[in-house]
Structure 1
């Protein structure tokens, strides 16, 4: 449903809460289907068909959820790899910058010493 906010509707958006609520919903739906099967005006074959359709729907939903999870996991791994590489490049750049600062600080100190040596002493 476009624009549906799970966090707003449930008061939380944590995966554990959502999974727990979906399990509860599925369990109650299965109970309701069992009750439909027991109703006298619903032929048992129709009730069985409902139950079979429900099982197929659950299996299909689980497959889709697993596929989406794997895609998300792969995307996160790729992003993590990219960030790790970027971090290494930044660490190298930082080390080079620190080496340059140290080198220039040393040269500045040497230049300062040379300047003092060339200035006439105040007596």
Structure 2
């Protein structure tokens, strides 16, 4: 397949065994054909819902293996990104309610270029 697109499926069976610390399960999903029959793939299974901070992924920048966002006061905050979601990326830790993010110079430059300024 080659693409890393998000696909939704339904777990049809969970086997009562662990294989090298992994849970083995059957999943039904549309559009895969027979590519992964009997194959091992990495999946993320949502088991519950919670409130989360979701921000545009371009507000997160990486440096020295850590992920950062910049607040409007210029302070960089280390964050722990989570899963990509429909309208951004989930932030698991590092942000507090009321924090206001500032677009990085890279985002601002891209916006100016798009506007033809």
Q: Tell me the TM-score normalised to structure 2 length.
A: 0.21
Larger Rg: 1
More strand by share: 2
The higher-RCO structure (CA 8 Å, 6+ apart) is 2
Q: Tell me the TM-score normalised to structure 1 length.
A: 0.21
